[in-house]
Structures are given as C-alpha cells and as structure tokens.
Structure 1
Amino acid sequence: MKVFYPFFMLCLLWQGLQAQHKPEQAYQLIKSNNAVQYKNYYLLTLFQQLPELNKMLKENSVLKKIADTKSAQVNEALKTCKADISCYANALKFSTEEITAISQELSNSYKENNELGKLVSNHLIASGCYTLYTNENPKNLLIKAWEQDANALNYTIGVYVAGNKPNYPKIDSISFSLKDKEYAELTAANASLALQGQNELFFEPALNFALVALELNERNDAADYEPMVSGVNQPAISQIKKTDWKKYPYSVILVPGAGPEDKETALSAGGMIRCRLAAIQYLKGQAPFIVVSGGRVHPYKTKFSEAFEMKKFLIETLQIPESAIIMEPHARHTTTNMRNCVRLMFRYGIPVDKPAMVSTVKSQSYYITTVLLERCKKELGYYPYQNGKRLSDTESEFYPNTTSLQIDFDEPLDP
C-alpha cells in the first residue's frame, strides 16, 4: 500500500533533513595542542583526540598494515634519498593508491551506529569543516573528508618540503633553496623524526612531517594569536554575550587589512584610513563590533600582523574600546577577509541571519560588491557571502554564508 503525504508535510520533512546536515553554532571544535594541525587537518585531529575512535583505528589490521608499509618506505628513503629532497617528500606523501586503499577500508568499517558513524553525525557535519560534502550520504562524507585531509598533507609537503609553487608565490613560497646541502640534511632529519614516537595511526608520520616542515619554514601563521577566545578576543567575546542585537542595524563592521610593502612599517596608510572609516560607522551605532581582518602577509614573511596593528590603532589612536574589537589575524587575501569574518561570527555566537557591513576604501568596496564573489567561487569553491545594499562609496552590506566553515585544503597558512 502506497502512502501519499501532503505537499506541506514533504516540505517539512525535506527541511528537517536539510537541518540535520547544517553546522551547529553551539558546536565546540575538538582541539589538539597544535592549532596549525586542527585547523588544517580536522578529521585527522578527531582520529587522534576521540578515544574510542582512536582505539578502533589502531586495532584495524588493514590500516595497521598500510601504516607498517608506509614506515618501511620512509626507512628506505632515509637510506637511499641522500640529498634528493623530492625523494623524501614522495616517501611521506600519500600515493593515489594509498588514499584509495584507506578510503576503501574506512568505507568497509563504517556503520551508522559505530564510532565512525558517530564521528560523521556528531562532528563532521556539526563542525561545518567539511560542509561542501554534506549533501553526500554519511559514509561518502567520511571518505571525502579523509581524501581532503590526505590531499592537504600532500599539498603542504609539496610546497614546504619539495618547493612546489603555492597559490600565491610572492607571499607564501618555501623559505629554503632545494640545492642547499644543509636543507637536505634538515629534510632527512625531519623524515627521521616523523617515525619517532608511537605513530600508531596510519597517517601520523605524514602529519608530523608536514607540521615540522611548516615550523622549519616559519609558517605557523594559522596558529597566530591562538587561542584567541581566551586571549586577544576575550574582551569582545564577553561583550557578545551581553549584546542586544536588536539595537543595531548590523552585526559587525568588517575592516579588510592593507599590508605595507616594506618590513619596517607596522601599519600601512591604507590600514589607518580603513580603521578611521570603520570607527565613524561604529560611533554612529551601526554595529556593536568592528572586525579587523588580515594576517602577516605583505611583504614576504613580515613580522607585522595587519589585524593586530589595526586593533592597536583603533584603541590607542581612535579610542575605540577593546571590547568592541574582534581580531581576525589569519586572512591573506580579500577572499578570506570575507570568509574568515563569517567564520568568527559563527564560532563566537554572533547572529549570522543579520546583515553585516564592510567598511573600506572606495576601490576595494566596489571590488567586493562586483568582482570578488566570482573570485571566491573560483578559489574557495563557494560564495562566502551575499551582497546586500550599497550604503556609500566606502560601505556596503553583506549577508554571511556558513559554507565559509569549509576547510581550504591548499592554503595551509590560512585553511
């Protein structure tokens, strides 16, 4: 006997299924002691940090055999690679065949009610870190997340060990010459270190190798100012909990950074002007918070953080209270100024169904409302925001898109 549901009931059922596949604002990320790790490789971090899941993976004979084979490859590389950097890199990276074999075993091991099933429902979906895959069935979502993290490790090793060209070579390239004998020695030592310790999980040698490579390159940018919730953003987070959002037309005022082009200048003239524009809007009562966004970007390997210097300028020069300023010190491009602002709004409990404002110079303001969305789609794979009204030559509205929580596998300095 067929059962026919009224149309409105089907709509409610569909909405319910969609809601199950959305990130949860109350979800707290499970963090390792290394912010670079959990921001780039969240699934692998969960594999380590969730005790019952960790135990399940360690006891899996197929994954253990893959891990043993991988360790043997690295040991062989230590004997034979000598000064060949790519030889070490290839030994630690995951081959296509290895990724496929691990995918197959995770698929075989997955059950809705076992630790892998709980991982998907309680963490992968709720966190939003793999939200581009939430239309997949749960098993496929797990496989997609694994493949993303494996490719992320390969990308990091490719750029920061083997010297591959990153997406933005002028600001993100490797710090070493591949022809330097000392660098070959450092790489061999890193490969050896990757096998030290327990390393009972199949991915740990590659993970350790990638993390140390970033450290050697002085590229732990993703960890800058972390943990921000108990540090630089703690005063604002305390204020968020007391904010009456109905009093303000906008949730936040975003200020995209503008890096100087010399290593001696802490804050560019463009950064100062943008702060002044945003301060005017804040003092008008347009929003209760200013988000200053920008990492250590320009010039190459600068020690100055755009967000930190803008926050300092707002407080010391413009007399804006620290409790009204949220630092976002990781963005390296305008695309991620927008994306990372949305992320912090979501993680900090700021309403994401309310419009926000961008305040910046005229040229960038119009760039954001015209060209940038398609650049975001090309580089990130989605639109992190939707344009609202243009308010002036220097201000415009935007609406957050929580797909911004998706980890970017090929930007290890700001994933």
Structure 2
Amino acid sequence: MVRRAALAAALMLATPAVAGAPQAVTQAPVGDRVTAALSARLFPLLDAVGADPAATARLTAQPQIAAMLAGRAARRTACTADLACLVQALVWTPEESATLAAALPAGLSHADDGAAAQALRETGGINTILRDYGLAQVPRYPQIDGAGPIDPLELRARVQAADWLARTPRARSAQAIDPSVDFALALLDGSDRTDAIGFDPLTGGRNAAATARARRLDWTRWHYTALILTGVGPETPDMPLSPYGKYHIRLAAERFARGDIATIIVTGGRAHPRATRFTEAEQMRQALIDRYGIPADAILIEPYARHTTTNLRNAARLLAAVGAPFDREALIVCNPGQSEMITSAAFAQRNQSELGYMPGRIGARLSPTEVEFRPSPSSLRIDPRDPLDP
C-alpha cells in the first residue's frame, strides 16, 4: 500500500490540476468505444440519462439537483492544485446520492428494485473507484481488488490523467450531469482494470455456439437447467488451473455424463493471483473439452466472477441471457468444503452483506459435492461497487 505521507506528497505536487489540460474545441466531442462500453456496463442508469440531452436537461433543471451539483462544483473548485482534495471532492455524500436518487423517474431503470436503488448503487460504485484507485485506500479484498502497490508518482499520473479526461468532452457521456463518472472510468482505464467488459457480449465469442444451442432447448426435458461449476483460483503465478480446479472439472464431467442436465456453466474470472493473465472459466472449459470430450456447445463460460457469491449471481445472469427458466433448479457442483460453505448460514449472511440479497435459493445438498440452486431475478441488478465485476 502507498503510505499516507507519500500519497499526500505525490498528489499535492505543485502542478495545477488543470495545467496542460486540452483546450476547448468547437467540433462535436468524439466517442471512445472502450470508455463508452465501460460506462454502459458499470453505470447503466447514469449512462442512459447522460446519453439523452433532453433527459439530462430535465434532470439538471430541477432546483434541488441544480443546487446539489453547484455545491459539488464549488467543492472541486476550492481544491485548486490539490489532486487528493479533488478526488475526495468528487466523492458523493449520502445526502447528494439521496437527492439524485429521489429525482430520477421511477421507471427509468430495468432493475427489479427501481431507479432510486440503482442510482444509489451507481454513486456508491463511483465512490468505491475513487477511493480504491484514486486515494489508494484498502479495498474490500486487498489481495485481488484495487490497483495494488504502485509508486506514488504513478498514482499521481493516473489521477492527473483522470482529471484531464473528465474535463475533455466525450460523446454521449454523463459529463453534463457530473464529472465523477468519467473521472472514475478514467481511473479504471489508467490502472488497466477494464475487466468488467473483457468478454462482452457474453453470449458471443466462446459462448456463441453454446448460446445458440441453449436457445433451442426444450428446458422441460431436463431435470436441471445447468450444472454450475464454481471456481477455486490458483495462488501461484502463471498457473492456469488450480489443483482444486482440476478436481472440479472431473466432478463436472462425471456428473454431466448422467444426461439429465441441459448445459454446463463454468464460472470464474481473472482474480487469483491479482491481475493474472488466465481466466479460470476459460481454462475449465478447455479442460472439459480436451480431457473429457465434453462438446463445446454444451459449455457456457461465465468469465467475470471473483467470489463464490458472484459465481452464483453471474451464473443466474447467464441462465437468463440464454433463455433458461428461473422456476427450475440448477445444480452446483464443487468440492466438499465449498459445498458445505455454500449451504451455511455464514454464506447467506455474506450474500446479504456483499450483494444485498441471495442470488437464488440454496436447495438440498444431495451429496458432499452437489447442491441444488434456483436462481433469483435479483441477480440481474448491476452493482458497480465491485467495479471489476458489477
């Protein structure tokens, strides 16, 4: 971690926060495909409002919103050359988040709990990115979250670039509402942590054939919609698949061979060790094909999850994407220790704490390695408070 004194010194170098910033241009702002995709993925509500000038105008014309945004602007202006102050000034206070949430039309979001709840998640996500990637605070999971240990001058460069980018017009952005969205996106991009869009669209690429097959299935013919194979990432650098992972794929191959499961979902992202070049779901998929002869179109990869909670949440999302019904059971397959943990009260509490809901109903534990699971529509909520897997 960057020490507090070194961080403060690095972020308070004499160069003004706006020195050398690009000058205003007269032509229409250009689009940035990477930033646009990341914005849509992390902040779908704010992104949609920002992309619609009329919606932006209606929002910012509301007196309470105008006053709140003016206060935020004054807070940023007061920071002058202090970059650490600027990052802190961009953080949304609980009162500001509540004001924004209350002003948004109720039907604007597709989230099952409405636009206000989604707005609070999105401002919370901005705050997480600002603190973890701009102020080098300790993230929730320090071993895999955040930027990791970096030189104070490199941190300053990332923050300064984020400030300049947030001031540079971008087509169809939320900048007219508040610069914190683009500042946060630039911090992630500058840290090379655009993980959240690494495999989009998820129903394409390696999932194209399996998606096409799944959308043709008569789900009533199968006892289980999917075999959900959870990940256990390696801790050794350059190890593609952990010893537990190899055990998991044997379990999956044996269970799938019974013929009563429609498809396999292998779930696990690029998490262990930090910023590994290997994506666990890809490695499990390839091993199932190469070692056990499982047809490629019977395997869907879920390549984003970094925790057991999100293994299940993201598997539910993938089932929805391929048209699987949520009123039928899937089957979780994993090692006995993880299986026991999934059925524990502690795991239920962890889901409530980290996600705010259960990603589905945990059903019967049929064996030491098999647990039934019925997905919940709540899993479709986008939550950028985990910006690498929202």
Query: Which residue does the alignment assign to 1:184?
Result: 156
Structure 1 match to 2:45: 43
| Contact 1:338–1:384 (Cα < 8 Å) also in 2 | yes
Once the two structures are TM-superposed, the CA of residue 348 in structure 1 deviates from its matched residue by 2.1
SS in 1 for 2:362: strand
Q: 1:289 to 1:413 in 2, by over 3 A?
A: same
Give 1:95's aligned amino acid.
T
Question: What is the distance in 2 between the residues matched to 1:36 and 1:201?
Answer: 15
Match of 2:364 among 389, 395, 400: 389
- 2: CA distance, partners of 1:264 / 1:57: 49
The Cα of 1:70 is off from its aligned counterpart by 4.3
- Write the distance in 2 (CA, Å) between the matches of 1:172 and 1:209: 19
Percent of pairs identical after alignment? 31
Of residues 265-274 and 55-64 in structure 1, the stretch that sits farther from structure 2 once superposed is: 55-64
- Checking the alignment, whether the CA contact within 8 Å between 2:175 and 2:181 is kept in structure 1 is no
Match of 1:221 among 178, 192, 195: 195
Summarize deviations over 1:3-33 as a string: whole Å, max 9, x none.
xxxxxxxxxxxxxxxxxxxxxxxxxxxx997
Residue in 2 aligned with 1:145? 118
Letter in 2 for 1:159: D
AA aligned to 2:360 is Y
User: What's the CA shift string for 1:347-379, capped at 9, x where partnerless?
Assistant: 221111111001111221222122422321232
1:272-308: per-residue Cα shift (whole Å, max 9, x none)? 2211211122221121210000111111221111111
Asked if structure 2 preserves the Cα contact closer than 8 Å seen for 1:194 and 1:206, the reply is yes
Q: Which has the higher helix share?
A: 1
1:165 match: 138
Query: Whole-Å Cα distance in 2 between the matches of residues 155 and 35 of structure 1?
Result: 19
How far apart, CA to CA, are the structure 1 residues paired with 2:147 and 2:213?
Answer: 40
1:352/1:164 CA distance change after superposition, 3 Å: same
2:258 matched to which residue of 1? 284
Q: TM-score normalized by structure 2?
A: 0.82
Match for residue 300 of structure 1 among 267, 274, 291: 274
Q: Are 1:63 and 1:202, in contact at CA under 8 Å, matched by a contact in 2?
A: no
Distance 1:239 1:51, change over 3 A: farther
Once residues 245 and 177 of structure 2 are traced to their aligned partners in structure 1, the CA distance between those partners, rounded to angstroms, is 42
- How far apart, in 2, do the equivalents of 1:90 and 1:270 lie? 42
Q: Which runs of 5 or more residues in structure 2 are unaligned?
A: 1-32
Alignment of 1:14-413 (within 5 A): 34-50=36-52, 52-54=54-56, 56-57=58-59, 63=65, 67=69, 70-71=72-73, 73-74=75-76, 76-77=78-79, 79-81=80-82, 85-103=83-101, 106=103, 116=105, 120-121=106-107, 123-124=108-109, 127-128=110-111, 131=112, 134=113, 141-177=114-150, 180-197=152-169, 201-370=175-344, 371-413=346-388
Contiguous gaps of at least 5 residues in structure 1:
1-30, 108-115, 135-140
* Number of residues of Structure 1 aligned to a counterpart in Structure 2: 355
Are residues 283 and 232 of structure 1, via their aligned partners in 2, closer, same or farther at CA, if it must alter by over 3 Å? same
Q: Deviations over 1:92-117 (max 9, x none)?
A: 2223454354456x26xxxxxxxx3x
Contact 2:46–2:174 (Cα < 8 Å) also in 1: no
Aligned partner of 1:24 in structure 2 is none
